[in-house]
Amino acid sequence: MSITAPAGFRAAGVTAGLKASGNPDLALVVNDGPEHVAAGVFTTNRVVAAPVVWSRTVVGDGVVHAVVLNSGGANACTGPEGFADTHRTAEHVGAALGVSSGDVVVCSTGLIGERLDLPALLGGVDAAAAVLSADGGADAARAIMTTDTVAKEAQESRATADATTWTVGGMAKGAGMLAPGLATMLCVLTTDAVVDAGTADAALRAATGVTFDRVDSDGCMSTNDTVVLLASGASGSRVGLAELTEALTAVCGSLARQLVADAEGASHDIAVTVRGATTEDAAVAVARAVTRSNLFKAAVFGNDPNWGRVLSAVGTVPVDVAPFDADAVDVAINGVTVSRAGGVGEDRSLVDLAAAREVRVDVDLHAGRATATVWTNDLTHDYVHENSAYST
Amino acid sequence: MSITAPAGFRAAGVTAGLKASGNPDLALVVNDGPEHVAAGVFTTNRVVAAPVVWSRTVVGDGVVHAVVLNSGGANACTGPEGFADTHRTAEHVGAALGVSSGDVVVCSTGLIGERLDLPALLGGVDAAAAVLSADGGADAARAIMTTDTVAKEAQESRATADATTWTVGGMAKGAGMLAPGLATMLCVLTTDAVVDAGTADAALRAATGVTFDRVDSDGCMSTNDTVVLLASGASGSRVGLAELTEALTAVCGSLARQLVADAEGASHDIAVTVRGATTEDAAVAVARAVTRSNLFKAAVFGNDPNWGRVLSAVGTVPVDVAPFDADAVDVAINGVTVSRAGGVGEDRSLVDLAAAREVRVDVDLHAGRATATVWTNDLTHDYVHENSAYST
């Protein structure tokens, strides 16, 4: 269950001293090859942290040797000095590992608007480089946690036709999502499959598009979100786009669900599934409107199956984005069709939201055949508390 | 300070018995003329309550004789039966007042998805008709309250060139806004100016566009939002578009601020002003992105001037909506420029958010000359509590 499960990778997680808590705060992941194929997806925010500016360029040529990640500071909105800090970090990693700094991805997470303690960070790089190990994945996963209460890891193995196996491993942090993102989401994926850079990029975009991109804990997009995929080729198994996409989607899906399950202050995970849409994009747009309704999310916190708030959120989606007849829409909560054809349906008291953490909201637009699910969380006292006290 | 301040209007507010609390829940407003000019603006939600479907048609010909408003039930998502209830309500009012039901606007607010107690409501109409009075405005304003803690009224008088005066009065309810709307926003505006229907409509749209439309307490849009303007002509003062727009904007601006000040569970009112935008629409889009950031709003609740959350919200606006250079943006909170050119600015400890309820956030995009302000509230424990317990 780790990024070091695939062959060809070493990792480490250490305490560099960036966090006041003294918890581990620096992770290093190294691809020992024989191949060093990579792909990345990043936040779509126009305000991006220095490490995102750097790392977008690094992955541009499809070659990455190492990823260094720190918690304890986002290095966002820190100006040219912040970018210089990222550059020096990459150079330090490159020197420690004997690789080019231009092949080192840098990820940071934590408070915006504060410079990193660079001497501490570079000391942490040295410490991590000294303990890199083929079973260091779990340590790395722990070192990237911020408000996470548990480390998030996932792993999938597949057999090829000639009976060799290949593996995808992953770790993620963040009580949120890629785009948009609550707290910063960082994710490193590793595989020992043999793939070319174009396939890696296409598979990664396809996998994140239906997993991390469909987790929307609080509608807020981070400046630092990064998902990077490293492929070592060490298994010798050559893998095609469909197979890689399938395995990456499984790993990313597991990590995305773990993010939702650990979202800041949440007491419910909510799966909003929209059916009967004209297109998948329309289904996503309607689902996202529901997942962004503070009123509905507060109702779920109160174990109140308030379908009126679902319908009123559905109705905010412009008709050119999602054509449907508002008088035809059905809403089910945990399998009870509480609203039928835009009006009252089954007895809402049949819905028991207190029974489980997971809540299923099913909206049928009766306008087409496309479907999509977006995950979110309820809006709770603890969410407000954690996010009002975060930086103090 | 009342809708009965302009000449030609009577109003009443009574207890029909729709609310379990026994508080007043039915208001009636009558335009005694000599003119019966009207205009209306309504929610842009595609899921609309029966009274909105009815009232949009009623105001379509620019003639309205009376408005009946009930709290204690939204009559939304109630199907054809709900529409029949609205129709019967209008017919009952028409019969009681001796006017056509087609000239009676109906407004409802309260829970979605439940039929109204029509016998109680119609009894309330009779009771209200019996006590209509030229000083009944305050009673009407009280009868439309739901989670409001205070009634909202406003009034402006203007002198014309020939020294006659004319007045605009207004009442509103809702801990939210027109579009989008938190709880339903209902507003009745009255004037004794002499205006034609086209002028009334244009002035109302202009006034609400820069007032109610720029209040965004929690990003949620109601199914019932209605603003209706009635003009009696009783002052004899003929008023042009510019003058009417100015006075309506003043009244709507006052009511909008009162809504923000009474928003459910809020402890701060936040004015987000965006300057240096290429267009007013771009300024509104950027301001609205900030007012919809739960992370920023939770930070304000914690008296934390977290400018990173402002910038990260600003950065979510697509470049085709608002062109600007993210590295040029300044952010000031309560006059302290905490972020300059996308980086760290003045010391954030200079900002004292605990000192006052009102918080000013100024974003300068340095991309043009357009400006707009959008008002919102902080995200608080009490917001979560009130909205998780609303229907239970």
Contact flag B312-A78 (C-beta cutoff 8 Å): no
First to last CA, chain B: 34
* Residue A200, SS3 per DSSP: helix
Residues B137, B29: Cα–Cα separation, whole Å: 8
Amino acid at B284: V
Average pLDDT over chain B reads 92
Residues B374, B291: Cα–Cα separation, whole Å: 7
Any idea which residues of A carry the catalytic annotation? 184
Within 8 A of B78 by CB-CB distance, chain A residues are 343-344
- Who among A220, A315, A341 is closest to B293 (CB)? A220
B173 labelled as ligand-binding?
yes
Nearest residue on chain A to B324, judged by CA atoms? A46
Interface confidence (ipTM) of the complex: 0.86
Percentage of chain B beyond pLDDT 70 is 96
Contact flag B315-A48 (C-beta cutoff 8 Å): yes
Residue A184 near chain B (CB below 8 Å): no
pLDDT band at B176 (very low <50, low <70, confident <90, very high): low
Nearest residue on chain B to A381, judged by CA atoms? B381
DSSP string, A235-280: T--B--HHHHHHHHHHHHHHHHHHHHHT-TT-S-EEEEEEEEESSH
Nearest CA-CA partner of B233 in B63, B370, B364: B63
Contact flag B309-A77 (C-beta cutoff 8 Å): no
Residues A101, A58: Cα–Cα separation, whole Å: 9
Report the gap between the CA of A327 and the closest CA in chain B (Å): 8
Residue B5 near chain A (CB below 8 Å): no
- Between A and B, how many residue pairs show a Cβ–Cβ distance under 8 A? 207
Which residues in chain A come in under a pLDDT of 70? Answer: 1, 175-184, 389-392
Residue A316 near chain B (CB below 8 Å): yes
Nearest residue on chain B to A224, judged by CA atoms? B312
- A222 secondary structure, DSSP code: P
B184 labelled as ligand-binding?
yes
Contact flag B313-A220 (C-beta cutoff 8 Å): yes
Residues B376, B260: Cα–Cα separation, whole Å: 7
Q: How distant is the alpha carbon of residue A41 from its chain centre?
A: 10
Amino acid at B336: V
Average pLDDT estimate for B106-130: 95
pLDDT tens digit sequence for B16-75: 999 989 999 999 999 999 999 999 999 888 889 999 999 999 999 999 999 999 999 999
Pairing of strands A336-340, A330-333: antiparallel
Residues A298, B168: Cα–Cα separation, whole Å: 38
Residues A236, A227: Cα–Cα separation, whole Å: 24
Residue B342 near chain A (CB below 8 Å): yes
Report the gap between the CA of A93 and the closest CA in chain B (Å): 26
Report the gap between the CA of B112 and the closest CA in chain A (Å): 5
Q: Which of B4, B184, B211, B376 is catalytic?
A: B184
B146 labelled as ligand-binding?
yes
pLDDT tens digit sequence for B217-267: 777 778 889 999 999 999 999 999 999 999 999 999 999 999 888 887 889
Residue A313 near chain B (CB below 8 Å): yes
Give the per-residue pLDDT at A163.
79
Residue A47 near chain B (CB below 8 Å): yes
Residues B391, A377: Cα–Cα separation, whole Å: 20
Give the per-residue pLDDT at A113.
87
Identify the helix (H) or strand (E) that includes residue A380.
none
Mutation site for A-interface testing, chosen from B185, B292, B312, B319 by largest number of A Cβ within 10 Å:
B312
Contact flag A308-B385 (C-beta cutoff 8 Å): no
Q: The tokens of A385 are what?
A: 């508390």
Give the per-residue pLDDT at A174.
84
Nearest residue on chain A to B112, judged by CA atoms? A308
Residue A388 near chain B (CB below 8 Å): yes
Q: The tokens of A153 are what?
A: 């890891």
Q: Angle CA(B249)–CA(B253)–CA(B257) in degrees, nearest 5?
A: 175
Question: Which residues does A294 contact at the CB level (< 8 Å), separation at least 6?
Answer: A379, B218, B219, B220, B294, B379, B383, B387
Contact flag A384-B380 (C-beta cutoff 8 Å): yes
Quick count: other Cβ atoms within 10 Å of Cβ B161? 6
Mutation site for A-interface testing, chosen from B147, B385, B387 by largest number of A Cβ within 10 Å:
B387
Question: Which residues does B344 contact at the CB level (< 8 Å), separation at least 6?
Answer: A77, A78, A79, A113, A114, B338
Quick count: other Cβ atoms within 10 Å of Cβ B80? 10
Report the gap between the CA of B376 and the closest CA in chain A (Å): 14
Residues A95, A102: Cα–Cα separation, whole Å: 11
* HEC profile of chain B: CCCCCCCCEEEEEECCCCCCCCCCCEEEEEECCCCCEEEEEECCCCCCCHHHHHHHHHHCCCECCEEEEECCECCCCCHHHHHHHHHHHHHHHHHHHCCCHHHEEEEEECCCCCCCCHHHHHHHHHHHHHCCECCCHHHHHHHCCCCCCCCEEEEEEEECCCCCEEEEEEEEECCCCCCCCCCCCEEEEEECCECCHHHHHHHHHHHHHCCHHHECCCCCCCCCCEEEEEECCCCCCECCHHHHHHHHHHHHHHHHHHHHHCCCCCCCEEEEEEEEECCHHHHHHHHHHHHCCHHHHHHHHCCCCCHHHHHHHHCCCCCCCCCCCHHHCEEEECCEEEEECCEECCCHHHCCHHHCCEEEEEEECCCCCEEEEEEEECCCHHHHHHHHCCCC
Residue B49 near chain A (CB below 8 Å): no
Nearest residue on chain A to B43, judged by CA atoms? A316
Question: Which residues does A380 contact at the CB level (< 8 Å), separation at least 6?
Answer: A265, A266, A267, A301, B384
Identify the helix (H) or strand (E) that includes residue A51.
helix A50-59
Quick count: other Cβ atoms within 10 Å of Cβ B182? 29
Residue A382 near chain B (CB below 8 Å): no
Give the per-residue pLDDT at A175.
62
Report the gap between the CA of B355 and the closest CA in chain A (Å): 17
Residue A78 near chain B (CB below 8 Å): yes
Give the per-residue pLDDT at B264.
76
Contact flag A343-B78 (C-beta cutoff 8 Å): yes
Within 8 A of A314 by CB-CB distance, chain B residues are 46-47
Q: The tokens of A220 are what?
A: 């807020």
Contact flag B292-A219 (C-beta cutoff 8 Å): yes
pLDDT band at B177 (very low <50, low <70, confident <90, very high): very low
pLDDT band at B182 (very low <50, low <70, confident <90, very high): very low
Residue B298 near chain A (CB below 8 Å): yes
Report the gap between the CA of A26 and the closest CA in chain B (Å): 22
Contact flag A308-B387 (C-beta cutoff 8 Å): no
B37 with B62: CB under 8 angstroms?
A: yes
Domains of chain B (ranges; CATH) run: 9-259 (3.60.70.12), 269-388 (3.10.20.340)
